[in-house]
Structure 1
Amino acid sequence: MEKKSDVVVATERYGSTGFWKYVAKNGIIERRRDESESVGRRGNPVVGVFKRVFLPQGYPESVSGDYLQYQFWDTVQAFSSSLSGTLATQASLRGIGVGNQEATVAAATFTWLLKGTCIILLADGTGMLGRILFAWQKGSKLDSEAKKWRLFADVLNDIAMFMEILAPYFPAFFIFIVCTAGVFKSIVGVAGGATRAALTVHQARRDNMADISAKDGSQETLVNLAGLLVSLALIPLVTNNPMLTLLLFFLFTVLHLFANYKAVRSVIMETFNEARLSIVFQQYLEDKQILSPQEANLREPVFLEFRKMVQIKLGVRLQEVVKCSQELDLALKNNRLPFLLGVHNGCVCVCLGPKASVCDEIRAMCQAVWLSNMLSHQTQQKQSHWEMVRESHKLMDKVFDPFIKGVVAAGWDTGRTLLDWDEWRVEWKSKSS
């Protein structure tokens, strides 16, 4: 108990989990836990060790507010995926003759070496090709639409494992099915790894991406160990029991997809991508209300959409906006901003200048969203595209400044964006020249 004669000469804390003070008494400085600050904060020592091993240093201040909820659902999906993978692997091994009691040892060994090697080579080769092609086509989308592609990767992974389970029942197409599943899994590897990195960037609040990634790896290792122990008890039950295999796979898949959906839904990103900016800007045009990051993220679609809408292309070549000098004059009319807008082949195209700022990019995207909505709801051609472009400039002159101030006040990060701009940058002459 601290006496009145004791003098506190210093205090210290370890994040938000522990508080201490240094007390001077008779020329000696003694370190004591500050019970007044630590009330309700001292927990089980075992839990404390667990946190230090599996959570980033400085948790919870060093990560985003959605970290714990996301990691919980990510752990659930990883565990269920581990068990589903065990069932799929067992089915694949059965398909190449492992466990066939009717075969001799020599025949089983020959079958395993020949058939297994061919399948591995084919599956790996097609998987490598699929990985390269997917990264080429969709690499830039994995940053701007991380939630969608994260969920897509897990759905595709379940489809691939389901194909591996069914493959032994179609021996004539076994190699084709397994190779196709291999391609799917290679795409899953690219999409899953890239979107995980994008989400780690979002979670890191102290430039501690490496620490978060390392602790995420530790969590995954622990989950895989738990999955392995459960699998050891599971394999004897499902061996030579295809109905139970399919039933368990179905249950694990449902749990896996549900956990993944909850995981991506729990992520609250404060930077704008096309979907979030579109949601916030359209709401502002309706009632002048600015949605918070949490409100907009809850409305953001997390499934890939295949419905037909007026597409927006950002950072295109000049020839996709204007075709002649007359159209260039129309594009520059009432426009002194470092971007040009136009409509080409049913798409809203934005041509960006080299000196455009992040704020200019946000404004260009807002105008493109407005144009896209106007074109989507236009039942008949009442006005030309260039007239609509001029209207968009007039509208943005009125609403953009209060809009951008509102989004900053609502907690949005306007210092950078996740808008999917291509690399084309164009310098054009002003209309007067």
Structure 2
Amino acid sequence: MRKEGGVVLATERYGSAQSWKYLEKDGVIERRRDGREGETRSHSVVGFFKSVFLPQGYPDSVSDDYLQYQFWDTLQAFSSSLSGTLATQASLKGVGVGNQEATVAAATVTWLLRDGTGMLGRILFAWQKGTKLDSEAKKWRLFADVLNDIAMFMEILAPYFPTCFTLIVCTAGIFKSIVGVAGGATRAALTVHQARRDNMADISAKDGSQETLVNLAGLLVSLILIPLVTDNPVLTVSLFFLFTILHLFANYKAVRSVVMETFNEARLSIVLLRYLKDKQIFSPSQANQTEPVFLEFGKMTPIKLGVRLQDVVQSPEELSLALKENNMPFLLGIRNGCVYVCLGPEASVCDEIRAVCQALWLSDMLSHPTSREHVCPASEQQSLWKMVHESYKLMDANFDPFLKGVEAAGWDIKRTLLDWDEWRVEWKAKSS
């Protein structure tokens, strides 16, 4: 192949960022970059910043939503940095910086109490909610940022309530410790989603570089703000609310931009109920746009996955009912307004998805009184078991085409983010 200036012997590229060609000219191999000289200089500058702040192989090495998420995440980090400056100034003023009557011992005790209560809060929150941070990463990510703004607002107000100052800053310290656990854990979960070449460490490191650059910019702006807000509580609170609105808006846009291809309970519910309604399969992008990103309480009948056998059945008769028309490696039951799923040790990922599909259908039926009245004529317990049996028939008819449809739509069915507990039960049918 002959080009102007010589014969092209080979071409090479560096990901999608650079393209080079090797030319034979006068018996010598010459390496030349594709593109005009001006473009080359421009690309070299852009390439330098990409290599410093973006993962190697970008954009091929990350998920499609990476750039949009990082843009909003950067904006929220900048606004949070400025809000944090206002809160830190208020905290220092509250412990006595600039006050000749304040003692070092009193300020130290206050600081130690704040840090101590924060440590306890961190441990307790990780114990109670650690398993939820993978399956509901978007919700807890947004929750952490809202809680962080509340904690900073408390720190700004604390100096104006000197009698309750220690209590307020300790409470804010607990909130911030929860933010640290939830924010760090959900950041890790999102990094797993973004990494497409097993490059989690690189993505995490470059995210740290981006955050450091943003914090440096926030520091420079803070140097201008501090003289303006000192001894001016009205301006302090006004700027804090301005930065908080920007922070929350950017966080909402950030979590909304994430498109996860794995099923959690919310995304599976959206896709399944739409399929049962009109046989339409939502793509990951469509389902993620519909997925709720705020924590919800009491809207749906709760579902407990991977429970003990006694949570599902409490008598041999109930075990017989649970095994009726059931040849799957899981058992379902409804008790005390909750759907329980008991899983066998041999269950595959597809079995887990099907079990949750049945549980979601039962939860949806129980959450709509009109539907429940239609299927519950006489005995409450018998009617509930009748609903369980109907769920098996429904999935027998619909699950295989549903599973093929979601796989064709781009969903990853080899793994899930469903919140299973660790109980696994082997049961035997009651002998005649």
**Is the TM-score greater than 0.5?**
yes
* C-alpha distance in 2 between matches for 1:269 and 1:44: 31
Residue in structure 1 matched with residue 283 of structure 2 by the alignment: 292
Residue in structure 1 matched with residue 311 of structure 2 by the alignment: 320
Equivalent of 2:119, from 125, 128, 131?
128
Shift of 1:93: 1.0
- Of stretches 3-12 and 252-261 in structure 1, the one that deviates more from structure 2 is 3-12
Write the mapping of 1:21-32 to structure 2, written as runs, cut at 5 A: 21-32=21-32
Residue in structure 2 matched with residue 80 of structure 1 by the alignment: 79
The 3-state SS of whatever aligns with 1:11 is: strand
- Of stretches 423-432 and 51-60 in structure 1, the one that deviates more from structure 2 is 423-432
Residue in structure 1 matched with residue 179 of structure 2 by the alignment: 188
Residue in structure 2 matched with residue 177 of structure 1 by the alignment: 168
Equivalent of 1:307, from 281, 293, 298?
298
* C-alpha distance in 2 between matches for 1:9 and 1:248: 61
The amino acid that maps onto 1:147 is K
* C-alpha distance in 2 between matches for 1:82 and 1:138: 26
Is 1:95 paired with 2:87?
no
The amino acid that maps onto 1:184 is F
* C-alpha distance in 2 between matches for 1:144 and 1:269: 11
The amino acid that maps onto 1:326 is E
State the percentage of identical aligned residues: 78
Is 1:332 paired with 2:331?
no
CA spacing shift, 1:320–1:10, aligned 2, 3 Å: same
Shift of 1:43: 4.0
The amino acid that maps onto 1:120 is W
Shift of 1:28: 2.1
Residue in structure 2 matched with residue 16 of structure 1 by the alignment: 16
Deviations 1:281-315 (CA, angstroms, capped at 9, x unpaired):
00000100000000000000000012342100000
* C-alpha distance in 2 between matches for 1:49 and 1:432: 72
Deviations 1:58-92 (CA, angstroms, capped at 9, x unpaired):
00000000000000000000000000000001111
Is 1:34 paired with 2:29?
no
The 3-state SS of whatever aligns with 2:298 is: coil
Partners of 2:17 and 2:47 within 8 A in 1: no
Is 1:361 paired with 2:352?
yes
TM-score (norm 1): 0.95
* C-alpha distance in 1 between matches for 2:226 and 2:255: 31
Residue in structure 1 matched with residue 46 of structure 2 by the alignment: 47
Partners of 1:142 and 1:194 within 8 A in 2: yes
Residue in structure 2 matched with residue 386 of structure 1 by the alignment: 385
* C-alpha distance in 1 between matches for 2:431 and 2:8: 73
The amino acid that maps onto 1:406 is G
The 3-state SS of whatever aligns with 1:22 is: strand
* C-alpha distance in 1 between matches for 2:83 and 2:369: 48
The 3-state SS of whatever aligns with 1:10 is: strand
CA spacing shift, 1:206–1:429, aligned 2, 3 Å: same
Residue in structure 2 matched with residue 231 of structure 1 by the alignment: 222
* C-alpha distance in 2 between matches for 1:358 and 1:65: 25
Residue in structure 1 matched with residue 137 of structure 2 by the alignment: 146
The 3-state SS of whatever aligns with 1:384 is: helix
Shift of 1:45: 2.8
Shift of 1:47: 2.0
Residue in structure 1 matched with residue 368 of structure 2 by the alignment: 377
Write the mapping of 1:236-247 to structure 2, written as runs, cut at 5 A: 236-247=227-238
* C-alpha distance in 1 between matches for 2:241 and 2:107: 27
Q: Give unmatched runs, 5+ long, in structure 2.
A: none
Paired residue total: 424
Is 1:396 paired with 2:391?
no
Is 1:352 paired with 2:343?
yes
CA RMSD of aligned residues (A): 1.9
* C-alpha distance in 2 between matches for 1:115 and 1:185: 22
Equivalent of 1:278, from 269, 274, 293?
269
Shift of 1:185: 0.3
Shift of 1:365: 0.4
The 3-state SS of whatever aligns with 2:369 is: coil
The amino acid that maps onto 1:123 is R
- Of stretches 24-33 and 405-414 in structure 1, the one that deviates more from structure 2 is 24-33
CA spacing shift, 1:35–1:230, aligned 2, 3 Å: closer
Deviations 1:145-166 (CA, angstroms, capped at 9, x unpaired):
0000000000000000000000
TM-score (norm 2): 0.95
Residue in structure 2 matched with residue 409 of structure 1 by the alignment: 408
The 3-state SS of whatever aligns with 1:58 is: coil
* C-alpha distance in 2 between matches for 1:284 and 1:308: 21
Shift of 1:344: 1.6
* C-alpha distance in 2 between matches for 1:198 and 1:331: 36
